[in-house]
Amino acid sequence: MKSEMKSFTHAWNGILYAIRSEKHMRFHLLAALLVTVAGWFFNINSTEWCILFSSIGIVIAAEIFNTAFEQLVNLVSPQQHVIAGRVKDLAAGAVLVVSIAALLIGLIIFIPKILSYTF
């Protein structure tokens, strides 16, 4: 049990590091908060919640992986190198891909609700 708690602590430290050090992570968390509030406001169903939370989790995880890749590349290649830059670009590209997918999912879920909402 003690080693499991230690592993959890290390994982939590990684998440906190990403939040503190990466402005994009903070942006994604703010977007997640706004989407969650919108989901509550529009009373989305359980399937929509599952899809939204899965999308949020994938984007956050991708951003953490991106941060880890950047840290690793900086460690093994402190000087500028074409391949090191490419690795960073690829990791950032992965975050962009899942972020666009999450945005599209959000639009598919929320646009009909917004259009049918009566004030």
Q: Sketch the domain layout of the chain as residue ranges.
A: 2-116
CB 11 within 8 A of CB 53: no
pLDDT in tens, 20-70: 999 999 999 999 999 999 999 999 999 999 999 999 999 999 999 999 999
What pTM did the predictor assign? 0.91
Q: What is the pLDDT of residue 3?
A: 83
Q: Which CATH architecture has domain 2-116?
A: Orthogonal Bundle (1.10)
pLDDT in tens, 80-115: 999 999 999 999 999 999 999 999 999 999 999 999
Angle between helices 2-21 and 23-41 (to 10 degrees): 100
CB 84 within 8 A of CB 38: no
